[in-house]
Amino acid sequence: MIVSLILISAVPLSILTSLELSITRNPGIIQYRSHGWLRECAKWDSIHQRFLVSTMFDAGIAAIDIGKVQMEEKVMLRETDMAGNASLGITIDEDRRQIIVVFADVVGHKHSAVAAYDLDTWERNYITHLRGVEEGKEEEGVTMADDVAIDSNGNAYVTDTISNEIWKLDSKGNLLTKIRNQAFKQTNGLFSNLIGLNGIVYHPDGYLLVIHTIGGDLFKVDVTTEDVKVVEIIDGSSLKMGDGLVLLSPNQLVVVAATSVKLLESLDGWKTSKVTKIHRSGPMHRVATSGTVRDGKVYISYIVGGGFPRTHVITEAVF
């Protein structure tokens, strides 16, 4: 995300203007009016047939009801207990009709939290403040919670993109452990851990798939044994700058990066994988960060808003 903002500030204004025009002319793009410049993550809420987006610096969530001629975001949540922090990764827990939201202090890296809200009433089911956990006692230090996945029992897994660890919470929001592994830490270069563990999804066979943004490693993490393996990318493709992940089917994973969206397939339970398709047609200057599945199709969301009046876009990734 931080890197994404550096990328966008390097694009000359004239190019930006023509890229913006290409959005206006593309009827396939879902475009909605918004009151903010930055929107981190969008997920499809199939129960209510709407996209939910994290609105970042107001620690909120907004809804976009699709199908209207003029789509506009509607504020559903502002977490006043997390004022000054940003809402980042979200995931929809359909079984429990709730949304899980990650919050973090993206500037000072002093605070991280994860919370769950009822998808119908927006009542808060839990909020848990996250720090490290060392032998039962909390430790202080810099953290930045980034993205979240839930397993079939409602346990939540939250990536810490600075310490390269994964918090695990039970379905009531109690902090159980922090999954640590030397393999999560990159060793090649000073900035190699600047943005570490980021996008995360739960695979129905009992493991997590997690991407390390700068290093480009895709990890398979067994949630029972906490065993960690690097998924071997047999075609030699790089997943560097990979951000959001989407599990399209048990054998298909989408890796969203600012520059391209890659479709990976695995035929051996994510021991090895290869990139089978690449999608490049999104408005690149808006900087893709996350993806979601709606009616079997993949939709990509972008962090940066633009235009007048200000809009954000969500596009379908056709592979």
Ligand X SMILES: *[C@@H]1O[C@H](CO)[C@@H](O)[C@H](O)[C@H]1NC(C)=O
131 belongs to the binding site for ligand X (CB under 6 A): no
Q: Which is nearer to ligand X, 48 or 110 (CB)?
A: 110
Q: Write the binding mask 68 to 97 for ligand X: x where contact by CB under 6 A, - elsewhere.
A: -------------xx-xx------------
Which of these segments, 32-40, 67-75, 105-113, 193-201, binds ligand X (CB under 6 A)? 105-113
Q: By CB under 6 A, is residue 108 in contact with ligand X? A: yes
CB 160 within 8 A of CB 144: yes
Q: Nearest distance from residue 104's CB to ligand X, in Å? A: 8
* Cβ 115 to ligand X shortest distance, Å: 11
Look up residue 154 and give its two tokens: 């409602």
- Residue number with CB closer to ligand X (54 or 266): 54
Min CB(246)–ligand X separation in Å: 28
Exposed, middle or buried, 27 (CB in 10 Å: 0-12/13-18/19+)?
exposed
Query: In the complex with ligand X, which residue's Cβ is closer, 85 or 159?
Result: 85
> Contact region for ligand X (CB under 6 A) — 10-18, 104-112, 217-225, 254-262?
104-112
* Contact call for residue 111 and ligand X (CB under 6 A): yes
Supply φ then ψ for residue 96, to 5 degrees. Answer: -105, 10
Contact code string over 263-302 relative to ligand X, x by CB under 6 A: ----------------------------------------
Q: Considering the rule CB under 6 A, would residue 178 count as an interface residue with ligand X?
A: no
Gap between the Cα atoms of 218 and 73, Å rounded: 33
Least distance in Å: CB of 162 to ligand X?
15
Residue nearest to ligand X (CB): 84
Judged by CB under 6 A, the stretch of 37-45, 103-111, 188-196, 284-292 that binds ligand X is: 103-111
CB of 110 to ligand X, least distance (A): 7
Query: Which one of residues 105, 147, 165, 217 is an interface residue with ligand X (CB under 6 A)?
Result: 105
**Cβ closer to ligand X: 58 or 217?**
58
What does the alpha-carbon distance between residue 82 and residue 289 come to, in Å, rounded to a whole number? 22
Is 33 or 109 the residue whose CB approaches ligand X more closely?
109
Size of the site for ligand X (CB under 6 A): 7
Q: Which is nearer to ligand X, 105 or 160 (CB)?
A: 105
Contact residues toward ligand X (CB under 6 A) are 81-82, 84-85, 105, 108, 111
